[in-house]
Structure 1
Amino acid sequence: MLFVEPRFLVFFALVLAVHWSLHGNRARKLVLLAASYVFYGAWDWRFLGLILASTLVDYVLAIRIEASSDPRKRRIALATSLAGNLGLLFTFKYFDFFADSLADLLTLLDIPANGTTLDLVLPVGISFYTFQTMSYTIDVYRGDLRARRSLPDFALFVAFFPQLVAGPIVRARDFLPQLDARRRWPVVPVRACLVLFLIGFIKKAGISDNLAPYVDGVFADPAAYADPALFAGVVAYAVQIYCDFSGYSDMAVATAGLLGYRLPTNFRSPYLAGDITDFWRRWHVSLSTWLRDYLYIPLGGNRGSRLFQARNLMLTMVLGGLWHGAAWTFVIWGAMHGAALVAHKAWRERIGVRLPYPIGVACTFWWVCLAWIFFRAADLPTALAMAGRFSGLAGTSGSAGLAPAVLPVLACVVVIHVVLGKVGVEERLARLAPPVFALVYGVLGAVAVGLVPSGYRAFVYFQF
C-alpha cells in the first residue's frame, strides 16, 4: 500500500475518522495498532509474525534489563536483544550475500565451493524496525529510558504505520512519551500537515516516478549514451532518490501529524550542503544520528588518535552502506562517504580554510553523485565504468541522449530545492486565509494528480 495510491488515501481517511471519533486514549492507540498491522500485512501477511516476534522479544528483554541489578544478567539480556535483531537482519538480508562472496573467494583460490543460498524474500521495512527496537533496548540498558510496561504501547512504537516501512527511524525516547497523553485535535497543525503531504506527493509521484524511466535506461545500458547524457542521467538519479525518499518522509511526517504525533525531520535540503559533513547533517538525518549515537560514539568517536578517529568514521560509514543493501557496491558507497568525511575532518583540523559556499556545494554534490553511481548500479563493473566516465576519464561512449524534457525538469527541481530550503514555502502556504488556502491547495492538488504517471512505483527505500 503506497502513500500515493487511492487505496491508501481511503485507508488513511477511515483510520483518521475512527481515531478522532474515539475519546479514550487507550482505544485510540489500539485502533492505530490494529491499523498498523493491517497496513503492514497488506504487503505480505506472512511477515507479520516477524515483526510480532521482534516486538515481543525486545519488550520482555527490556523489562528484564531494567529489573535486574546484576551487570552480567543485564549484559546477557542486551546481547540477546542485539543478537536477535541482527540475526533476523542477517538471515533475511545478508546470508546470501556472504555465502556468495565466500564461494567466489574460494573459487578464486582454486578451492572447490558449492554456494548455498536461502533465496528468502526480504521483509519490507525490516532494516528500519530492527534499528528502532535495538535502540530501545540499548537506551534502557544505558539508563536513558524506562522500559515500557504496556505491551500495546511498545507494539505501536514498533509498528506505527506512517513510518513503519521506510522511516524516519524513530527513537523510543521521542515517541513513547507521546502515547501517555490523549491527542487533541485543536492543536493539530492540519493545514501544515496537508501542505507537507502534498509536497511529498509531488516529489514522489510527480518528479521521482517521472524521472525513473530515463534513469533506468541510463543505468541499464550506460555504454549506449553519450557522456553528457550519462552525466545528466546520474544527476537525474540523485534527484530521483532524493525526491522519492524525502517525499516518503514528508508524507510519513504529515500523516503522523494528522493523527497527533510528531516524527523527526529526515531531510534538510541536503544538496545545498557546503561540505560532506554538512551533507550528512541534512540527508537521512534519523539514520545518520542513529549511526552516530549507537555505532560511531561506542566505537570511540572523536577520542584517541587521528588514525583511531578515521577508523571509527570508516567503520561507521561502511556498515551504514551495508545497511542499505547486501552488495559490494553498497560497501563501496559507504566507504566513499567515509573517506570523504575523514578527508574533510583532516582538512578542517589542519588547514581550516572553508571553500566559498558555491564551490563547496558544487564539489559536495559532485562527490555525492559519483557515490550514487555505486548505490544504483546493478553490479560493480557497470559502476566502475560509469564512475570513470562521470569523472572525465576515458571510457566507451555511445551516441544516445536523454529525452529533451529531462534537463528542464532537473532545472526546475534545482529551483524548487533552493526555494523549499531557503524560503519555507510550506509554512507560508499554511498561513494563508482559509478560502485562499483551499483554492491554492485545490489547484496544486489537481496539478499534482496530473503529473502522476501511469502505474505506481514502489519507494526506493522499500528494498532496504
Structure 2
Amino acid sequence: MLFNSYIYLLIFLPVVLVGYQALRRAPLRVGLGWLVLASLVYFGWWKPSPDEPWTPRYLALILGSCVANYFVGRLISGRRGRPAGRAALATGVTANLLLLGYFKYAGLFDKTLAALTGNGLDLPDIVLPLGISFFTFQQVAYLVDAWRGETEEYHFIDYLLFVTFFPQLIAGPIVHHGEMLPQFSEKKSRGIRSLDLSVGITCLALGLFKKVVLADYLARTATPIFGLAAAGDRPLTMGEAWAGMLAYTLQIYFDFSGYSDMAIGSARLFGIRLPLNFHSPYKAASVIDFWRRWHMTLSRFLRDYLYISLGGNRKGTARRYLNLMATMLLGGLWHGAGWTFAMWGALHGFYLCVNHFWHHLRKHLDFPALPLPASGVLTFFAVALAWIPFRAGNFELGPEGSTTAALAATKSVLASMFGLHGLSGWPGDSVIVVTKSRALRPIVGGLVIVWLLPNTQQFLRRYRPALGLKPLDPWGARRWWQWRPSWPWLLFTLGLLYAVGRGFDQLSEFIYFQF
C-alpha cells in the first residue's frame, strides 16, 4: 500500500484516524494496539505479485521477528555484562543478519557464483519481504543498546508499534527506540489535535507534490535514457548522458524527499514526530556534510553500530580510512543486492576518505577553505556521478538482471558524458528517446528548487514537524514564507493537492521501496 495511492490516502488513513480518535478515552494501550493492528494491515496488504494469492507468511515473518527480538532484548538486559548476555546478543544479532542475508543476498551470491564458476546453487526465486532492511536494522540497534544498558523494560505493545508503525515501516526513517517509545507512552499523544492534523496534512501534500509532480516527471527523462544505455542499441550523445544523469539525480532527491515528508506527515497526524531523515543534501558543502543531510538515520546507524564498532578513528589514520571504506561498502550493499550498489558505496567511501584527508592537509598546511559555491558545486557533481552506477543497479536486480548489463549501462553513460562517443548535444528525430525541451525544463526547475528554496522542515519550522531539526537549523527570526495554520496557507495546500490530482494518472513505487 503505497503512500501515493488512493487506497492509502482516501480509505486506509482516514479509517485509522477515525478509529484512533474514537479510542482516545480508552486505556492508553488500547489506542496503541489499534495503531499496531493498522500497521499490520498496512504491511499485510502487500503481495509480491498481483497474480498470486495472498499469503500470511510475510506477516508471520515480521511478527516472529518482533517477538523474538523483544524477548532476546529482555534476556540481554537482565544479563548485561555477563557471558550469558553477550551470547544472547551475538545470537540475536547473527539471527537478524542471517535472515536479512538470506532474503536479500542469497540470490546475488548464487548469480555471482554461477558467473565465476559456471555452476550456481539453483536457488528458487527468493522474494524480498517488504521493509526487511529497515525493521532488521531497528531491531539490531535495540539489541545492541540493551547490551549497553540504554533500553528500558518496554511494554510489548509499545515495542511492537516501535517496529511496525506504518509511516516508517517500509522505507524509514530508521527510528531509534529512545526517540519513539517515550512518545508512545505519553498520554498527551492520545487522540488527534487540530494542529497536528494541519501540519500532517500539509506535510503529506508537499510530499505528494514532490513525488507525483516532480519525481515522476523527471523519471520520464531518466528512465528511457538509462534504458537505452543498458540496451546498447546505440551510444548516448553527450547531451543525453548529462540529461539522464541530472534527471535521475533530481528524481531520487524528490522521490526520497517526498517519501520522507509523507512519512513525517502521516505520523504527525497521530501526534508522533519521526526523526528528520532528509535536510537539503544537495546544498552540502562537502561529502561529509552530504551524509549529515541524506538518509540521516541510516548515516546515524552506520556510524553508531558499524563504524564505531569497527574502531572508528580510534586506531590510527590508516585504520580510520579502512573503516570508512568498509562502512560505506556495506552501506551500498544494504541499498541493493548488486555489485553496482557496492560500487556506489565504494565511491562514497573514497569520497569520504579524500574529504577527511583534505581537512587534515588544510589544517596541517594552513590552506584556506574552498569558497562555498565552489565546494558546493564540486560536492554536487561528485554525488551526481555516483548516482550513475546506483541507477544502473536496477538492471542487476531481479531474476533476469545481470551485473554485466548494469556495468555496461554505467560505462555507457560515463563515456558519453565525457565525450568518448562524440560531442553532439541531441540526436536526430529518427532515434530520439526524449525531446530536448521535455528533458531540460524539469532539470532546470529542479535545480532551482533544490538549491534556492527552503526545504519542507524549514517551511514548517514554526511547528517542529520532525525530531532533530534544531541543531541543523537553529531557531532564528520567523520568516514570512514559513507556514502557519491560516486561510492563505490552506489555499496553498489545496493548490498543491490540485496539482497532484492532475498528475495522478498512474501509480509508481518510491525508489527506496525496493530496499
Q: Does 1:441 align with 2:444?
A: no
Output the aligned Cα RMSD: 1.9
Contact 2:281 2:290 in 1 (8 A): yes
* Count of residue pairs brought into register by the alignment: 456
Contact 1:226 1:401 in 2 (8 A): no
Q: Does 1:373 align with 2:425?
A: no
Q: Which one is further off, 96-105 or 294-303? A: 96-105
**Pair 69,419 (structure 1): closer, same or farther in 2 beyond 3 Å:** closer
**Equivalent residues in 2 for 1:173-188 (5 A)?**
173-182=178-187, 183-184=189-190, 185-186=192-193, 188=195
Identity of aligned residues (%): 39
Contact 2:224 2:434 in 1 (8 A): no
- Scaled by the length of structure 1, the TM-score of the pair is 0.94
**Partner in structure 2 of residue 121 of structure 1:** 127
Contact 1:321 1:333 in 2 (8 A): yes
Contact 1:273 1:364 in 2 (8 A): yes
Shift of residue 440, structure 1, vs aligned partner: 2.4
Q: Does 1:136 align with 2:142?
A: yes
Contact 1:168 1:249 in 2 (8 A): yes
**Partner in structure 2 of residue 39 of structure 1:** 42
**Paired residue for 2:298, among 287, 296, 309?**
287
Contact 1:191 1:430 in 2 (8 A): no
**Paired residue for 1:363, among 378, 381, 387?**
378
**Equivalent residues in 2 for 1:392-403 (5 A)?**
392=418, 394-395=420-421, 399=427, 400=432, 402-403=434-435
Q: Does 1:153 align with 2:179?
A: no
Shift of residue 311, structure 1, vs aligned partner: 0.3
Residues 26-66 of structure 1, C-alpha deviation per residue, up to 9 Å, x if partnerless?
11101000000000011034310110111011011001011
**Partner in structure 2 of residue 461 of structure 1:** 512
**Partner in structure 1 of residue 19 of structure 2:** 18
**Paired residue for 1:384, among 404, 407, 411?**
411
Shift of residue 18, structure 1, vs aligned partner: 1.2
Q: Does 1:411 align with 2:426?
A: no
Which protein is richer in helix relative to its size? 1
Letter in 1 for 2:140: M
- CA distance in structure 2 between the partners assigned to 1:67 and 1:133 by the alignment: 17
Contact 1:332 1:374 in 2 (8 A): yes
Shift of residue 433, structure 1, vs aligned partner: 5.7
**Partner in structure 1 of residue 2 of structure 2:** 2
Shift of residue 258, structure 1, vs aligned partner: 0.8
**Pair 381,405 (structure 1): closer, same or farther in 2 beyond 3 Å:** closer
**Paired residue for 2:224, among 193, 213, 217?**
217
Contact 1:100 1:117 in 2 (8 A): no
Contact 1:430 1:437 in 2 (8 A): no
**Pair 310,4 (structure 1): closer, same or farther in 2 beyond 3 Å:** same
Residues 95-122 of structure 1, C-alpha deviation per residue, up to 9 Å, x if partnerless?
1111221232234xxxxx3443231111
Contact 2:80 2:148 in 1 (8 A): no
Unaligned runs of 5+ in 2: 48-55, 396-405, 462-479
**Partner in structure 1 of residue 471 of structure 2:** none
Letter in 2 for 1:155: L
Unaligned runs of 5+ in 1: 108-112
3-state DSSP class of the match of 2:278? coil
**Paired residue for 1:307, among 318, 333, 339?**
318
Letter in 2 for 1:209: D
- Scaled by the length of structure 2, the TM-score of the pair is 0.85
**Pair 247,332 (structure 1): closer, same or farther in 2 beyond 3 Å:** same
Contact 1:188 1:260 in 2 (8 A): no
Residues 378-411 of structure 1, C-alpha deviation per residue, up to 9 Å, x if partnerless?
2112212222333x15237882363312211122
Contact 1:193 1:258 in 2 (8 A): yes
3-state DSSP class of the match of 2:2? coil
Q: Which one is further off, 139-148 or 392-401? A: 392-401
3-state DSSP class of the match of 1:259? coil
Contact 2:222 2:243 in 1 (8 A): no
